[in-house]
Structure 1
Amino acid sequence: MADKRLRDRFYNASDQELRFTKEDRNEVFEQIHKLEKNHHEQKKFHVSSKKIVPFTVSLLLIGLSMFLFLPSILSGNFNKESNSSNASESVFQEDELLTTLFTVKDDNLRIPLNLLLTYSKDKKTMKVLSIPRDTYAPIVDKNDGTTSYDKLTFAYAYGSGGAENVRTTVSKLFDLPIDYYAVMDLETLSTLIDSVNGIEYYLEEDIQVRAISRVSFEFEKGTNRLNGEEVVALMMAATVGKLGEENQLNLMNAFINQTLNVLPQTQLKQFATKIEGNIPIEQLLENKMESDLIQSVSLIDGMKDVMIDEAYYIKFEKDFLNSISKELTTFN
């Protein structure tokens, strides 16, 4: 119950049962914004003598990668790259799984959204898991190899590790190898969505959600036209149960149908070149795939909200994370 109340304060500030005024809600979001800003500045100072790679990835590009690189796997032309720099390539066997991590990065080097994907070539099915930005996670310092626990959102900037550091952190968190990873910046995502004049999306009720470049967004019930950050903000809300889990796939489907299926391939290739990671870009854009082959996996039932050194975290028991890893890699 304590976990539920704490999460409500951070994410469900618009619920009537909390009886918050608009000023109360704004104060909550403002406090979160300030805490994260201060925390980020401390991290930035800690690694100021190290070069930080200025690149990013958007969760919505999950749509781009999820729906555009899978057909290459289905056709048998997608080669698996080893994690080492001197990797050799080998064609997937029919019973093998592919794991891929897609991440959104903002201009402060934070990663507000992370999607972990598993794909069964045998079943021709994908599972997708959205991981909360506030997850208490083991982050490895690339420079000295030490591991520190902090919010997942800081994994990209920590120790100037970049995209590989995000993959390592998520892999350690779930004890699951990750074959491919990709990061795209929020600005590129927004440009992509702006090129089709935004995404139309219907909301069942008025809602206030946590934002990225600002404190919060307020949406009205009905059809909304969303920009890149607004789509990501709604995905973040869905990840922690604020918006409803079904909205994760609904938002991705809206993104696919209103951008990737509309824009010419030459334009999509320009956006694809902004991806940071180890996915073969040229094979991403060969074909498209039906969205009914996607299944959603949720972390909501295992979330525990805690305060550590006056900072808010979402923690998961190891046994629960193990069960999630098993669910992600089991295809019946």
Structure 2
Amino acid sequence: MEKNMKRSKEKKSKKKIWLWVVASLLTIFLVLIGSVYFTIQKTMNKINTPLLQTTEAAQQEEKTVIRKDPFSVLLLGVDERKEDSGRSDTMIVVTVNPEKQTMKMLSIPRDTRTEIVGHDTVDKINHAYAFGGVTMAVDTVEHFLNIPIDYYVFINMEGFLQIIDTLGGVTIDNDMDLTYNEYHYPKGEVTLDGNEALIFSRIRYEDPRGDFGRQIRQRQIIEAVMKKASTPSTLLKATDMLDVLGDNVRMNFSVKDLLQLQGLYKKMNADMEQLSFEAGEGERIRGIWYYIPDDKELQRIQLTLNNHLEK
């Protein structure tokens, strides 16, 4: 019973975190418009990066939020380091149906074995970004889930954490005592600077939960950053903060889209349905561990998402 309650709480936290990311990004851009309008425009020019469309038909199908058509968003959290293109350790798909005022969210396990579209290989799904950037990640997820991906939001975790120093540090509620080399993170409330937060978000083998524990900590860091970034005190640090965002966030939402999205989100049902892979199994293939989705469960998820997008 206690395990189920804990799992339920973790799922609810997972639902909220990317909502915090998108909603707080909106807050940062929209609340500060009066005093730093030109800086916001400059930042949006850097952040707004359209996907490379491979066909004329794909270009014509590009959506804008202002329409009432259902749409989908791929959220990519990438641990991108110097001289390393990085892998998308966090891959979340959100589908939105404005008419029904409903949202569904699916977290894709990073080790999911699937075809990497455009690379002619079968590999872990998070390798798609390393092989071909956002475009290949989007194409691969589209093929895997058999749905169109209309929008994406990309966050470089390492660079994005620079904003923590700009904000003067963040405080998180650490659920486990952890030590990594000279870094010690006691259980309970901990205040972290940018470097401490970066190490904290990368610890893996010292945590008995492995990669699952690391994902929890990464979500805690992002949530703490976004909560602090959306406070009135950020007005004094707006320019520095927007510079960091401009260097580490990419999306194909335009300013007009963001404004429409903000209005749409206010009307949405606050409860987001969480979809998840639960029936698959881990398997070693040629010495490499993969998550193998259950075919029936994958088909059920594909059908659910397609119905929500009215395909």
Structure 2 length as normaliser, TM-score?
Answer: 0.62
2: CA distance, partners of 1:282 / 1:268: 21
Is the helix fraction higher in 1 or 2? 2
Any residues of structure 2 matched to 1:1-332 within 5 Å, and which? 63-68=20-25, 83=53, 87-88=59-60, 96-105=69-78, 106-107=80-81, 108-109=84-85, 110-141=87-118, 147-158=120-131, 161-206=132-177, 219-226=185-192, 227=194, 229=198, 232-233=201-202, 242=212, 253-261=223-231, 263-264=234-235, 266-267=239-240, 269-274=242-247, 275-280=249-254, 283-284=257-258, 293=270, 295=272, 297-328=274-305
SS at match of 1:156: helix
Report the CA distance between 1:232 and its aligned residue. 5.0
2: CA distance, partners of 1:267 / 1:69: 17
2: CA distance, partners of 1:283 / 1:244: 32
Report the CA distance between 1:92 and its aligned residue. 5.3
Residue type of the alignment partner of 1:199: V
Q: Is the 8 A contact 1:117 1:126 kept in 2?
A: yes
Q: Is the 8 A contact 2:167 2:229 kept in 1?
A: yes
Structure 1 length as normaliser, TM-score?
Answer: 0.58
Deviations along 1:247-273, whole A, 9 cap, x unmatched?
A: 998766544322234534655543443
- Structure 1 residues 191 and 94: alpha-carbon distance in aligned structure 2, compared to 1, 3 A threshold: same
SS at match of 1:201: strand
SS at match of 2:138: helix
Residue type of the alignment partner of 1:169: T
1: CA distance, partners of 2:273 / 2:222: 11
Q: Is the 8 A contact 1:249 1:296 kept in 2?
A: no
Which structure 1 residue ranges, 5 or more long, are not aligned? Answer: 1-59, 73-79, 209-213
Report the CA distance between 1:293 and its aligned residue. 2.6
Which structure 2 residue ranges, 5 or more long, are not aligned? Answer: 1-16, 30-49
SS at match of 1:104: strand
